[in-house]
Structure 1
Amino acid sequence: MKRESRRMKRMARSHKRKKTSGMNLTSLMDVFTILVFFLLTNTSSNEALEPPKVITLPDSVVEAKPRETVTLMVTDREILVEAKPVIATEEVINSEETIIQAIKDAMILEMDKAITIAQIEQQEIAEEAEEAPEQLPPEVNILADRTIPFSLLKKVMSSCTDAGYTKVSLAVIQKASQG
């Protein structure tokens, strides 16, 4: 029988005394706390359009949330492009013209923003689909009060399309889908 050295015995004794402690979860809980805080703060800002209090949007069953685009607001007093007043609503209603030059000019000034947004969205779609990007048209979202007559909206939409915006969307309040 071989004799073990004193050093080996001492190492064996100290090795037996050490108990392995369980996993330390403190840092893992810190990471999850930060993740929960991040998710809570970012999910509240998902709405692309926040309608102002002066406009009551119509209700509709929609399938997709609105994307960030150039916004045109029609209130009972005035028409605003990107929150800048353009023309009085009464003036547009009384006009015989189908295309309102003031709206068209304001929309042309915002065309760079619309094209930039379309390009960013086009790149995101291309990356997800792993395909060559296709050219997306400039887009405008129209926020109009539910009491605005359609003849006024028709003039506003005609002015937008004449300015080069080929995709026009009307903002609505999303209701739960039926079915």
Structure 2
Amino acid sequence: MSRHHGRTKRNASLNMVSLMDIFTILVFFLLVSSSSVKDLPNAKQIQLPESSSQQLPKETVVIIVGEKDIVVQGRKIASVPAVMGSKSIEIRSLKIELVRLAKRTVRKTTPDGKPVPREVTIMGDKKIPFALLKKIMLTCTKAEYTNISLAVLRKRDKG
């Protein structure tokens, strides 16, 4: 009986090396898994069109086009009525903002030495006029954003 009581009187110890290894692995796992999720910003006033596309969104410059405003990366750039009333084929304030954002990032090159095309995603309400969308897309190309994506909602499969 005295043998059993002797076990409980010893001091318990934790192996700190193993514990630190586990926490290090956990931290790396959480960092990797959280950086792989890329969601587009949610604008409640915008109702996106639907599409059957299976491609996931990438992290790019986001232009949100609502009924009243054009917003780039959270900053209001222009009002839709003013842009629609303008006779210009491009939106000057949008071009200035896109060029400013392009200057802030380092432009990568392909193995050939060519610059990697800049990317932009347009989140436009499904009711915006095509003339407005055309002006925005033309302005993006003039600001050297050549890969233009349109954000859409994925259609649900029937079945």
TM-score (norm 2): 0.71
In 2: Cα distance, 1:45 partner to 1:76 partner: 32
Residue 67 to residue 59, structure 1, CA distance change in 2 (3 Å): same
8 Å CA contact 1:143–1:171 kept in 2: the answer is yes
Question: Match for 1:81: what amino acid?
Answer: V
Code of the residue aligned with 2:50 in structure 1: it is D
Separation in 2, partners of 1:53, 1:45: 24
> Equivalent of 1:163, from 109, 118, 143?
143
Partner of 1:17: none
Q: Does 1:173 align with 2:153?
A: yes
Runs of 4+ off more than 2 Å: 42-45, 131-135, 175-179
- Is 1:60 aligned to 2:51, yes or no? yes
The aligned runs of 1:117-156 (5 Å cut-off) are 119=108, 135-156=115-136
**Preserved contact between residue 38 and residue 59 of structure 2 (Cα < 8 Å):** no
Aligned residues: 140
- Read off the aligned partner of 2:44 and give its amino acid letter: K
Q: Deviations over 1:122-151 (max 9, x none)?
A: 7xxx8xxxx778642011111111111111
1:72 to 63, 66, 69: 63
Say which structure is richer in helix.
Answer: 1
**What TM-score, normalized to structure 1?**
0.64
Residues 65 and 101 of structure 1: CA distance in aligned 2, closer, same or farther (over 3 Å): same
1:46 positional shift:
1.7
Instruction: Give, in whole Å, the separation in 2 of the partners of 1:153 and 1:107.
Output: 16
SS in 1 for 2:40: coil
Distance 1:109 1:68 in 2: 18
Q: Is the 8 A contact 1:51 1:57 kept in 2?
A: no
* Alpha-carbon offset, residue 63 of structure 1: 2.5
State the 1:45 CA deviation: 7.2
Q: 1:175, CA displacement in angstroms?
A: 2.4
Amino acid at match of 2:63: L
> Which SS does the other structure have where 1:66 is aligned?
coil
Q: Aligned pair in 2 of structure 1 residues 89, 64: CA closer, same or farther (>3 Å)?
A: same
| Distance of 1:133 and 1:60 partners within structure 2 | 35
The answer to whether the Cα contact below 8 Å between 1:71 and 1:143 also exists between their aligned partners in 2 is yes
RMSD (CA atoms) = 3.3
